[in-house]
Amino acid sequence: MTKARKKVVVIGAGFGGLQVIKSLANNNQFEVLAIDKKNHHLFQPLLYQVATAVLSPADIAIPTRSITTNYKNVKILYGEVTDIDFQKKEVKFQNNIEKYDYLVIASGAKTSYFGNTNWESKTLGLKNLKDALAIRRQILLSFEQAELIGDYEKAKSLMHYVIIGGGPTGVELAGSIAELSHNIIRKDFRNIDSGMTKVTLIEAGPKLLNAFSDLSSQFTKQKLESRGVEVLTNSPVIDITDSGVVLKDRTIESKTIIWAAGVEGSELAKKITLNKDKANRILVDEFCRSLDYQDVFVIGDAANFSKNLSRPLPGVSPVAMQQGRYVAKFILNLEKNKKTASFQYFDKGIMATIGRTDAVAEFGSIRLKGLFGWLGWLFVHLVYQVGFKNKMSTLISWVWSYLTFRAGSRLIQEEVTDPSVRS
Ligand SMILES: Cc1cc2nc3c(=O)[nH]c(=O)nc-3n(C[C@H](O)[C@H](O)[C@H](O)COP(=O)(O)OP(=O)(O)OC[C@H]3O[C@@H](n4cnc5c(N)ncnc54)[C@H](O)[C@@H]3O)c2cc1C
């Protein structure tokens, strides 16, 4: 008698979820159902390049359905999971209910304002394509408005970009906005000099890139400053108002404030009744299983994996990908009544780019900075892009931007309307 196929439901087809799907693909022991509220897999590390008009959305995203075309046992459904009944082993989404034998929660994270919910409407976050396009629109629009005003003093707050959070995303955005305004678009305006644009990067802690060595952190600060970025460390944000950012000793007036200061567990993680930490990340054991249910696994940014560690594993894509492959193997072994050793993270290192020809990278005791760091960064970010077409289009855009000092995706999608005609 043939054994009934076990059903694995995966919530989220991001970095972690996709690895579960790939590892169980075309294995007839399993029926795999992946549910995602986005129809595409997104390469988040390059989101900042969409936000600063270097790349187009389609360069860094790929329809999930097209990745799984040849995985006959995999079904993709486009929906937002809103509830899970762990007793009945049911997942609820878009008026559907699906049963599971094994559940993998890979729902990622969302932007966190550390309880200051009113700051959300005054800033722009960077977590998905919609966010990146909103930042791109705001930056391009502010230059157009400044050109209309035609007077730097009056357009000052339009031409001042403030980024809060000195981690890799904040550093990459600051470097890229400085490059866009000081170099790339400078010759395109007649009434304003976009080279007078101010970019301020604010970090609450004592240094940029907290996870890096002091040497890499100092190098990053110095390189950003040489590109015209004002770097403020030890500067916790007290408040954010309609006119700007309030610090202990001053207020920085700006019409564009980007929040890159933190993330917390997804909306779904917030709702469900599993053991969680303060940031709504679900606590897991050494096998990436929730502490509450043996058939529920949680991976990537949604999880707090801290077993035998001094602090939880970081919210980076290698953690999610390795945990995805591990959980698939764990489930396969379970079906064979085989034991699986506990999850071990293999740390491949950390990197962040500052701008053209400058990046920092650390692999254990090996440290790269400047051009070699940048070449390493380019290579890694091309290799890990999903899909040949995306790798090629990204490479072509990079080579073109590098050689011509231009950015190809400077589109504002909506038409402007004249308020005096409409009112
Ligand atoms: C701007 C930015 C830059 C980054 N740069 C780097 C970097 O340089 N290097 C690095 O290693 N990491 C980087 N990261 C972090 C990295 O992207 C994450 O660690 C990684 O994406 C985590 O993978 P995941 O599978 O846990 O979640 P994700 O990849 O975020 O996937 C989660 C998926 O779940 C889906 N989902 C969420 N809720 C639901 C729901 N209720 N129902 C259905 N679907 C749902 C989402 O649509 C999404 O597709 C960056 C992140 C950001 C935002």
pLDDT, one tens digit per residue, over 200-239 is: 999 999 999 999 999 999 999 999 999 999 999 999 999 9
Of 352, 355, 47, which is closest to residue 212 (Cα–Cα)? Answer: 352
With b for 16 or more beta-carbon neighbours within 10 A and e for fewer, the 59-94 pattern comes to bbbbebbebbeebebbebeebebeebebeebbbebe
Site to probe by mutation for ligand 1, drawn from 9, 10, 11, 15 as the one with most ligand atoms within 8 Å of Cβ, is: 15
The residue contributing the CA closest to ligand 1 atom 12 is 316
The atom of ligand 1 lying closest to the CA of 40 is 49
Tell me the CA–centroid distance for residue 320 and ligand 1, in Å. 9
Q: Worst-scoring range by mean pLDDT, 198-212, 286-300, 332-346, 407-421?
A: 407-421
| Catalytic residue (one of 98, 172, 203, 264) | 172
Sign of CA dihedral 263, 265, 266, 270: negative
pLDDT surpassing 90 at residue 352: yes
Tell me the CA–centroid distance for residue 14 and ligand 1, in Å. 6
- The CATH label, of 3.40.50.450, 3.50.50.60, 3.40.50.300, 3.30.1280.10, for the domain at 6-111+263-335 is 3.50.50.60
Domain with CATH 3.50.50.60 in the chain: 6-111+263-335, 121-261
Tell me the CA–centroid distance for residue 193 and ligand 1, in Å. 37
**Residue 38 in tokens:** 């986005």
pLDDT, one tens digit per residue, over 75-127 is: 999 999 999 999 999 999 999 999 999 999 999 999 999 999 899 999 999 99
- The CATH label, of 3.50.50.60, 3.90.600.10, 3.40.50.150, 3.10.270.10, for the domain at 121-261 is 3.50.50.60
Task: Determine whether the shortest distance from the Cβ of 125 to ligand 1 is under 6 A.
Answer: no
Tell me the CA–centroid distance for residue 145 and ligand 1, in Å. 34
pLDDT, one tens digit per residue, over 151-197 is: 888 898 899 999 999 999 999 999 999 999 999 998 999 999 999 99
* Residue 335 is a catalytic residue: no
